[in-house]
């Protein structure tokens, strides 16, 4: 009976869910390990209030629920970087049951430095000795039980890329979580003088601040106070009184004033001592692979050319593979889907404005979101590959000098170069930058990189006004953007982002081949997130824009629409720039949707009725969707092997403009056309980029700033071009 009652209890009262925080150095394979454990159950979000990514997953292991929380990768728990503060706050405030510390076993000493700090928290720690395959290949040997015994933790060799050791790791986690008293971390001896001071501070806190002593791990709190952690000093009010001064006098007399340095030395001392004892290395004398690759990749003469080739490849693969699929999605949405919706709405006798709202506002907006998905996927794939392989750090190393000159970080180069294709993936690519200052500044400059959608505008105007030297003029537009980005970078660094420039103390991790599974999971997460989060904003803006463009419904003359009125209203602003027609102003307004729309709006306003097409049948539509998808894939594949084709795009655009070409040549002069092109280059990010800013930074602030400075800069540059040109007697 008794047994039965106990069994009943066990069945009715499920065992407690264990919360497991996963910590570790960057480049120790932490995300691969998380991916291997959680797979698609992973939920990706942000830590509250910041742009640092937060991953979580709940697993079932041996009938128990484990809640994994991935902490940002950090080298330490010092309170200086955003990542470190997040990791520390989580550990101290949320009291996870177990900490899994993912350690790169081939780089034990530096990784153990973080372990030392984790142990100070008093929470059971399970170390994953990761990348153990490479460790064995190097001929290293480790005395695991010595490591476990001296630190009071569990250590399990793992190879996350192949899923090895994960069962054992979870078993150790379960064991430690269920019997925390048996897995208390050992208190390490940081040396007589330090320990005396620690004890004194602990006693003082116990007596004077008993509430703090229960809220925080005592030893950790004492160590933090010795380090003069500002936040804790404020909380305890110990910063003002003479107590800390007295408690540390003896310590400072013997070791100097910098107790932070003393503590770092003590922790590293423990890590180094333990590594010496537990780790056996055989001297192989063999040159490592990383060394061999770096000899070429970081070579004085080859370094930059190799970097440029790598960037060119990434750019080409992202946009050449992405674009045919983008065109296909676009084709399906503007073609068959729009026609079917129209047919459906006509069948139920819906009013014409509703048909237009549904097709242009909603379907158009949704199509717009989807067209960016292939680009986001491709970009994320390559960024993850660059980061996971270890080349990203080299790219930053090679380019830092040049980028630093304009106030940026070596890694800023990658978002900037992607910006030439499309600003949207470029904004997302800024996540490769760890420091928020670097990240925001890079994102602010990205819109100055002339994106692919601005090209049709250049092609149209150069074709009409500068036919003889069109390519030179287009090229000048790109250069103008780059030069202005340099100037704005320096300007921002001296004004809004004044102060200490962020550090460039960066590990160059060993080269490693990331697993395809890990790459795909990461890419998928990003793509999905974009679709849901950014998609919502884009759809909303798209519907708003529809109202702007189409109200009041049924006006015969475009001039009387809200857009036309708006165009007339703002046209005087462009008077000094040489293009004060309301048509041009209206076209610029619609350019917010997407820059290439500037051209089609001009076509609609300057032109006459668009020609009607014969509508294909439902069956033909379906067939066409399939055929064109096949074509898109084929093109994506063959593009990998062909060169970048700006020429084909140019030829395509030329035919379309035939009908309203004359009107445009009457309205513009070569000089005002040039001013208009420069204005289009600079004036503001498009709405999808706006959504990307909001999504990536969690605020509209940076989009607002990018738009504000863009408009001012655009106006000034166009003014200088037009008025300067007139002064030089180039006509106007």
Partner 1 sequence: MNLAMLQPGQRGRITKIGAIGPMKRRLLDMGVLQGEEVTVEKIAPLGDPIEIMVKNYRLSLRKREAAGIAVEVTG
Residues that bind partner 1 (CB under 8 A): 75-76, 78, 80, 107, 109-110, 113, 258, 260-261, 264-265, 268, 290, 294, 298-301, 303-304, 393, 396-398, 400-402, 404, 410, 500, 503-509
Considering the complex, state which of residue 261 and residue 620 has its C-beta at the smaller distance from partner 1. 261
Considering the complex, state which of residue 497 and residue 719 has its C-beta at the smaller distance from partner 1. 497
Shortest spacing between CB 392 and partner 1, in angstroms: 12
Shortest spacing between CB 189 and partner 1, in angstroms: 19
Considering the complex, state which of residue 61 and residue 504 has its C-beta at the smaller distance from partner 1. 504
Considering the complex, state which of residue 80 and residue 641 has its C-beta at the smaller distance from partner 1. 80
Considering the complex, state which of residue 104 and residue 148 has its C-beta at the smaller distance from partner 1. 104
Shortest spacing between CB 564 and partner 1, in angstroms: 52
How many angstroms separate the CA atoms of 571 and 581, rounded? 6
Nearby residues of 196 by Cβ (< 8 Å), 6 or more positions away: 250, 251
Beta bridge partners of 70: 22, 55
Report how far Cα 631 is from the mean position of its chain's Cα atoms.
31
Whether residue 552 has a cis bond before it, omega within 30° of 0: yes
Burial 30-57 (b: 16+ CB within 10 A, else e): bbbbbbbbbeeebeeeebeebbbbbbbb
Coil, strand or helix: which one is 403?
helix
Considering the complex, state which of residue 396 and residue 664 has its C-beta at the smaller distance from partner 1. 396
Shortest spacing between CB 5 and partner 1, in angstroms: 54
For residue 150, what are its two tokens?
């001296």
The backbone region for 567, taken as left when phi is positive above 0, alpha when psi lies in -120 to 50, beta otherwise, is: alpha
Shortest spacing between CB 492 and partner 1, in angstroms: 20
Considering the complex, state which of residue 411 and residue 595 has its C-beta at the smaller distance from partner 1. 411
For residue 108, what are its two tokens?
């034990």
Shortest spacing between CB 258 and partner 1, in angstroms: 8
Pairing state of beta strands 64-70 and 125-130?
unpaired
Shortest spacing between CB 642 and partner 1, in angstroms: 30
DSSP H or E run through 59:
strand 53-61
> Taking a C-beta distance cutoff of 8 angstroms, is the pair 418, 379 a contact?
yes
> Taking a C-beta distance cutoff of 8 angstroms, is the pair 105, 131 a contact?
yes
How many angstroms separate the CA atoms of 260 and 520, rounded? 41
HSE-CB of 12 using CA atoms within 13 angstroms = 6
Considering the complex, state which of residue 268 and residue 660 has its C-beta at the smaller distance from partner 1. 268
Strand order in the sheet with 43-46: 43-46, 53-61, 64-70, 18-24, 98-104, 125-130, 154-157
Shortest spacing between CB 304 and partner 1, in angstroms: 5
Considering the complex, state which of residue 395 and residue 673 has its C-beta at the smaller distance from partner 1. 395
Shortest spacing between CB 80 and partner 1, in angstroms: 4
Give the DSSP letter of residue 164: B
């Amino acid at each position: 009976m008794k047994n039965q009652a106990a069994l009943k209890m066990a069945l009715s009262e499920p065992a407690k869910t264990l919360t497991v925080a996963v910590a570790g150095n960057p480049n120790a394979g932490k995300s691969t390990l998380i991916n291997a454990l959680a797979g698609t159950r992973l939920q990706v979000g942000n830590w509250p209030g910041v742009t640092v990514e937060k991953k979580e997953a709940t697993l079932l292991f041996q009938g128990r629920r484990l809640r994994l929380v991935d902490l940002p990768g950090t080298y330490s728990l010092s309170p200086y970087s955003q990542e470190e503060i997040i990791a520390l706050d989580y550990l101290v405030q949320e009291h996870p049951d177990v900490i899994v510390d993912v350690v790169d076993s081939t780089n034990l000493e530096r990784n153990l430095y973080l372990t030392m700090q984790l142990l100070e928290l008093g929470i059971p720690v399970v170390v994953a000795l990761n990348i153990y395959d490479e460790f064995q290949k190097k001929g290293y040997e480790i005395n695991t039980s010595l490591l476990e015994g001296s630190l009071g933790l569990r250590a399990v060799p793992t190879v996350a890329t192949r899923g090895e050791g994960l069962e054992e790791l979870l078993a150790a986690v379960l064991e430690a979580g269920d019997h925390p008293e048996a897995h208390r971390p050992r208190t390490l001896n940081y040396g007589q003088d330090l320990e005396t001071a620690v004890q004194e501070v602990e006693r003082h806190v116990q007596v004077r601040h008993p509430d703090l002593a229960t809220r925080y791990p005592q030893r950790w709190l004492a160590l933090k106070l010795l380090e003069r952690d500002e936040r804790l000093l404020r909380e305890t009010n110990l910063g003002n009184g003479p107590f800390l001064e007295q408690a540390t006098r003896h310590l400072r007399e013997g070791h100097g004033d910098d107790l932070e340095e003393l503590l770092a030395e003590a922790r590293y001392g423990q890590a180094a001592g333990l590594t010496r004892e537990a780790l056996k290395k055989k001297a192989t004398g063999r040159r490592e692979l990383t060394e061999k690759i770096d000899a070429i990749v970081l070579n004085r003469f080859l370094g930059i050319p190799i970097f440029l080739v790598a960037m060119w490849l990434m750019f080409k693969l992202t946009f050449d593979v992405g674009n045919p699929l983008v065109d296909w999605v676009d084709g399906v949405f503007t073609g068959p889907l729009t026609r079917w919706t129209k047919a459906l709405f006509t069948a139920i006798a819906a009013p014409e404005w509703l048909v237009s709202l549904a097709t242009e506002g909603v379907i158009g907006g949704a199509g717009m979101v989807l067209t960016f998905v292939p680009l986001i996927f491709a970009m994320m794939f390559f960024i993850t590959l660059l980061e996971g392989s270890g080349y990203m750090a080299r790219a930053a190393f090679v380019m830092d000098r040049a980028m630093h000159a304009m106030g940026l970080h070596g890694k800023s180069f990658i978002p900037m170069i992607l910006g030439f294709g499309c600003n949207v993936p470029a904004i997302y690519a800024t996540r490769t930058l760890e420091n928020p200052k670097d990240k925001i500044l890079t994102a602010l400059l990205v819109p100055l990189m002339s994106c692919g959608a601005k090209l049709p505008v250049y092609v149209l105007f150069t074709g009409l006004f500068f036919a003889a030297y069109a390519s030179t003029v287009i090229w000048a537009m790109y250069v103008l953007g780059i030069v202005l980005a340099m100037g704005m970078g320096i300007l921002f660094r001296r004004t809004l982002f004044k102060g200490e420039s962020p550090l460039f103390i960066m590990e160059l991790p060993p080269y490693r081949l990331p697993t395809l599974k890990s790459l795909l999971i990461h890419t998928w997460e990003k793509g999905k997130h974009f679709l849901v989060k950014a998609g919502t904003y884009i759809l909303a803006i798209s519907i708003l824009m529809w109202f702007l463009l189409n109200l009041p419904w049924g006006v015969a003359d475009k001039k009387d629409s809200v857009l036309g009125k708006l165009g007339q209203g703002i046209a005087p602003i462009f008077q000094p720039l040489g293009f004060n027609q309301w048509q041009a102003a209206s076209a610029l307004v619609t350019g917010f949707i997407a820059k290439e729309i500037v051209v089609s709006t001009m076509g609609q306003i300057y032109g006459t009725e668009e020609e009607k097409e014969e509508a294909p049948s439902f069956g033909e539509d379906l067939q066409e969707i399939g055929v064109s998808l096949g074509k898109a894939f084929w093109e994506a594949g063959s593009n990998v092997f062909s060169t970048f084709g700006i020429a084909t795009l140019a030829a395509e655009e030329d035919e379309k403009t035939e009908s309203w070409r004359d009107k445009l040549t009457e309205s513009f002069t070569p000089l005002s056309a040039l001013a208009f092109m420069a204005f289009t280059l600079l004036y503001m990010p498009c709405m999808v980029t706006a959504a990307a800013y909001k999504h990536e930074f969690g605020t509209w602030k940076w989009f607002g700033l990018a738009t504000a400075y863009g408009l001012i800069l655009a106006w000034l540059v166009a003014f200088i071009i037009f008025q300067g040109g007139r002064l030089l007697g180039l006509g106007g």
